[in-house]
Each structure stands twice: as C-alpha cells, then as structure tokens.
Amino acid sequence: MKTIASELAYFLRGRARKNLKVLFIYCTFLVVLILIYAVLFRALMWNLEGREFSFIAGIYWAITVMTTLGFGDITFHTDLGYVFATVVTLSGVIFLLIILPFGMISLFLAPWIEDRLRYRPSSELPEGTADHIVIFGINAITRAFIRKLQALGLPFVVVTPDHDEAMKLEDDEGMSVICGSPTDVKVVAAAKSASARYIIANLSDPENVNICLTVRSHCQTPIAALVEDPEHAGLMHLAGANQVIPLHKLLGRYLAVRSTTCGALAHILDSFGDLKFAELPVHGTPFSGQTLQEAQIRQKTGLAVIGTWKRGKFTVPTSETVLEDDSLMMLAGTREQLKTLESLSGKEEEDLIFILGHGRIGCAAARFLEHKPVPFILVDQQENPSCTEHIPIYGDATIRHTLMSAGFEHAKGVIVTTNNDNTNVFLTLASRHMRPHIRIVARANYEENVDQLYEAGADFVVSNASVGASILLNVLESRASAFLTEGINVFRRSLPEKLIGLTIADSHIRPRTGCSIVALSVAGESDPRVSPPPETHLEAGANLILIGTPEQEVTFDAVFVKD
C-alpha cells in the first residue's frame, strides 16, 4: 500500500505535476471537441437528412467514430455527411489514437521508468569497505563536516531514509549515500558500520538514542552523537555513544564568553589541565594601542599572547603587532596569571549583556553568564517552552522601541542569536547603529552568512555549522585538542623522539608545519612554561602544547610523529 502511495506521490511532484496539468488541459480540449462534433452531428442530420437525434446520441456517435469503433448503427447517407464523418474519424485518429498515447508515454510513463531506473539508491556499500565515517543525518553541520572530510580525503557515507534526498546527494553532489532507515540494523550493516572508523549520529535526540542502540546491537564502532538537550547526554552514553556533543550548549558558551567585556577570568574558553586559554577584548585593558613589546604582558603577568582577533581574522602576533582597541587577544597561561592580568586591567566596569533570541542557544548563553555571574537581559518575541528559569522581555527585537525600553543604552555587549540569519544581520546592523561601541557577538546559522554579519558590524561571529564540524573533526581524529575557534586548534603532543635534545629553534617546527609552541610542560614542574624562548632545550618526557590549523596539526603528525 505504502509503495503504491509513494509511486502515486511521484506524479504529484516536480515535473510530473506540471505534466499532469498539460494532460488536464488536453483532456478538456478533447471533451470540448466531442461536444462540438455532437452539436454539428445533430445539426447536419436534421438539415441534410431530416432525421432527429438526441444530444447524447450525438456524443455517442462522435466517440464511436473518433475511436474508429464505428458500430455503423447511425450513419450519414449524404456526401456532406460522409465528408463530416471522415473529418471526425481522422481527427479522432490524430487526437485520440496518436497524440494522447504518445503524450501519455512521453510525459508520464517514460519519465517515471527513467526515474525508477536512473536511481535505485545504493542499498549497500561494497564488501571490504573500511575505515570510513558513517553519517546519520544531513544538515548544515554535517555538510560543513563533509567539506572538511573531503578536503582531508577521508571516506564517508551518508545514511538517509529520504529517497529524494539520497538521489540529490548522490547524483548532484557526488556523495556516497545509503538510502534506508537509520534505525534498521540491516541498513547499519549495509553501511559497513562494523569496519567503519566512526559513526556520527546527528538526528533528533530520540532518533540518536535509537541509532546508538541499533549500532551497538551490531558492532562496537565508536559513535559520536550530537545532543540537543544536554540532559539527554547520560541517556546517550547509556545507549552506547562514546562521545556526546551538547552542541547548543557549546555554541551558547562560545557566544557568551565572547560577549562579556570585562574580567579575564570570565573569558576562559578551554583548558589543558592548568593551562587556560582565554580570549580577552583589548578594550578596557591598559594595553590598547600599544605594541606587544610595549605592553609587556608576558613580563607583567607571565601570560602569552598567542593570537589576536579582529573582525574574524586571526593572526599570530609578533612583538610589533599593535593591540587595537576593537580587537581580541587570545591568551595562554594559568588561572593565577589571568588573575594578575585582571588586577592590572584597572577598575571593573559594570557589565550588561543583551541576548536577542531565547532559543536553545540563547538560553545556553544565558545559563553560562548566570554562572559567571554576568548580568544579562533576554529578549524574545515568544516563550521558550523548554525553559522555565529565565524571564525574557517579550517583543520583536527588530523594533527599536523593544530594545530601548529594555534599557539597551546601558548594554555593554549583545549576543545576536535568533534562528534566522537575515534577522541576525539586521539586528547586528541595528545594534551597531544604535550603540557604535557596543560589543556584538552574532550567530550564523549558515556559513555563507558569516561575512555579512562581520560586514554588518559584528565583533565576533560564531557559525553553528563550522563550530559543529570542527568539534566533530576533533572527536574523529581523537585529538587531545582544545577547540578554541574555527580553524584554530590547540593540541598536546608528547615530545616526538626526533626532537629530543634539540632546541626549539633547531626543531624547525614552525617552518616545517606552521604550528607554534604555546607551552611546554616539563616532567617535575607543576606549571607549564608558557611561550618558551627559542633557545629552550626540548628534553625527553616533555609535553608540547601547540597551536595551529587542523591541517597544520595533521602536518605536524606527518612530519614528526609518524614514521
């Protein structure tokens, strides 16, 4: 029944639907033609032969003659009548017996057969497929992830139950696809999950739990599952996931960390044991406008400035780099050192963050600020049914009055986090216009809108897709990486044998791989040595903490770790 319905549904989609309209117009034309013939038949019979027939008899005559059935029970006996009957027969042959079947075949039957033959979605990967990544669920995040996999030349397969989607992904985008239900163990087996390198579950929480259970009933391949609700993480582990990624919570955190304007400790993004990474706006520190050399941050606090951000551009700084007021410094050091910096930064300004959009990500950002604690005001046009803790100001944030009456003129930072990128661009532009010096952190739901958001005046843009994809890639490569931001990883490696005994300068790590050493942890020393000078000797047992792009990280392993 379901198959018949899905086949019938074919005729209601796309080109078939258009053709159905053509068929309808053509049939209307045939009906009108038959009616005209019936009227002419009656008129000719009466005028030429004096015989009277009903209108129904006229229709009956026209149809039997047009279909060349010609029972012969009603016939003309005059020349003009014969001519008329011949015209009706010929037009019947043309319109009913030639054009109609031809049209039916070319408009419906042929495309339908072609559609069935052209694509039977693959139902199984070839025997022997191994070391690939099986992806359940395709959206902006997995698409960005796939682009990264393609760039690294890693094989993958997408599993989708949707025939049309499968067709589009395989035909138009050249991906390897299995069409089938993700919770069907046969489909899991067909994707050669047992020999796969990793399984990514990126559907709704209940579906992901089901996928984990299905996969676990079949094999022990590691699974990374994204969860919408962080409270479901435990269940996901219980169902068999090895890595659970609470993406909305992480995104909320990244937005929140970057939105606050004061207090270095509020800006810790990630840590490696005692080594913390923090991103701090230059604005509000005494270093604004100074070069790194003049600022003497390292000498005063022990912290290393490992990068600077300005409007989405990350640079590894030199001693000549100027710390511009509207840029951010990425710092590495201990909690104590960050505290020292905080005390240097002078008086703390009162912070106030506006969060525009109280969806899952806005709510997660609010939770993060709550813990700091940093005061915030949420604005949303509707209730968030899954949050009972926060009371937002209700109203459309695109209307100036909504923000102003909520006290926007006192805001120090704003997090723009609605689910619509156009709205986010608008809100960014409007916030910049209303408050030229406010700190704006915006969320991009699609990667292609990142540039527009920077263009509109955002200080920092967090793209859901890129962050999700980078986290997935880190999980996949089992890297001991701290994900700092798109395109930049901080990762730890034990000192490769090839480098034992060399100085940092002689190791040529930066020229050969592009990575820089952020810190060195030496056995027996409790604090890592941040930004060790080039003459430092690398001794056996040390751990390197490096910064670089994901590609540079791969190069590092290829050059120094692998044979």
Interface ranges with ligand ADP (CB under 6 A)? 357-362, 379-382, 384, 396-398, 417-420, 423
- By a kind-dependent CB cut-off of 5 to 8 A, residue 142 interacts, out of Zn ion, ligand ADP, none, with none
- In degrees and rounded to multiples of 5, residue 12 shows phi and psi of -100, 5
Residues 247, 253: Cα–Cα separation, whole Å? 10
| Environment class of 325 (CB within 10 Å of its CB; exposed 0-12, middle 13-18, buried 19+) | middle
481 vs 478: CA distance, rounded Å: 8
Q: Indicate which of ligand ADP, Zn ion, none lies near residue 381 (CB less than 5 to 8 Å, by partner kind).
A: ligand ADP
Smallest distance from Zn ion to CB 155, Å: 40
Q: Does 203 bind Zn ion (CB under 5 A)?
A: no
> How many residues comprise the chain?
563
Long-range contacts: 417-420, Cβ < 8 Å, 24+? 417/252, 417/255, 417/355, 417/356, 417/357, 417/359, 417/361, 417/362, 417/365, 417/442, 417/443, 418/356, 418/357, 418/359, 418/362, 418/443, 419/357, 419/359, 419/445, 420/445
390 binds, among ligand ADP, Zn ion, none (CB under 5 to 8 A by kind): Zn ion
Among 297, 363, 414, 444, binds Zn ion (CB under 5 A): 363
Under rule CB under 5 A, residue 509 binds Zn ion = no
Residue 419 partner contact from Zn ion, ligand ADP, none using kind-dependent CB cut-offs of 5 to 8 Å: ligand ADP
Cβ-in-10-Å burial (0-12, 13-18, 19+) of 470 comes to buried
353 vs 375: CA distance, rounded Å? 6
Closest to Zn ion by CB, 38 vs 363, is 363
Among 387, 461, 504, 520, binds Zn ion (CB under 5 A): 387
Residue closer to ligand ADP, measured from CB, 252 or 550: 252
With CB under 5 A, what is the number of residues at the site for Zn ion?
Answer: 3
Q: Is 372 in the site for Zn ion (CB under 5 A)?
A: no
Is the backbone peptide bond immediately before 373 cis, with ω within 30 degrees of 0?
yes
Residue 125 or 361 having the CB closest to ligand ADP: 361
In this complex, which beta carbon is closest to ligand ADP, that of residue 271 or of residue 381? 381
Q: Between residues 232 and 360, which has the closer beta carbon with respect to ligand ADP?
A: 360
Q: Which among 262, 303, 302, 301 is positioned nearest to 283, based on CA atoms?
A: 262
Query: Can you spell out the DSSP letters for 17-74?
Result: HHHHHHHHHHHHHHHHHHHHHHHHHHHHIIIII-----HHHHHHHHHHHHTT---SSS
86 interface partner picked from Zn ion, ligand ADP, none, CB below 5 to 8 A per type: none
User: Contact region for Zn ion (CB under 5 A) — 62-70, 110-118, 379-387, 442-450?
Assistant: 379-387
Closest-CB residue for ligand ADP? Answer: 359
**Please, which residue, 142 or 321, has the CB nearer to ligand ADP?**
142
**Closest CB 358 distance from Zn ion, rounded Å:** 6
Residue 418 interacting partner from Zn ion, ligand ADP, none (CB closer than 5 to 8 Å by kind): ligand ADP
Residue number, 204 or 290, with CB nearest to ligand ADP: 204
Describe the strand order of the beta sheet including 393-394 as a list of residue ranges: 393-394, 376-380, 353-356, 413-416, 439-444, 460-463
Shortest approach of ligand ADP to residue 145 CB, angstroms? 18
Q: Which of 262, 277, 280 is nearest to 327 (CA)?
A: 280
Nearer to Zn ion, 323 or 387 (CB): 387
Window contacting Zn ion (CB under 5 A); options: 147-155, 172-180, 359-367, 531-539: 359-367
- Contacting positions for Zn ion (CB under 5 A): 363, 387, 390
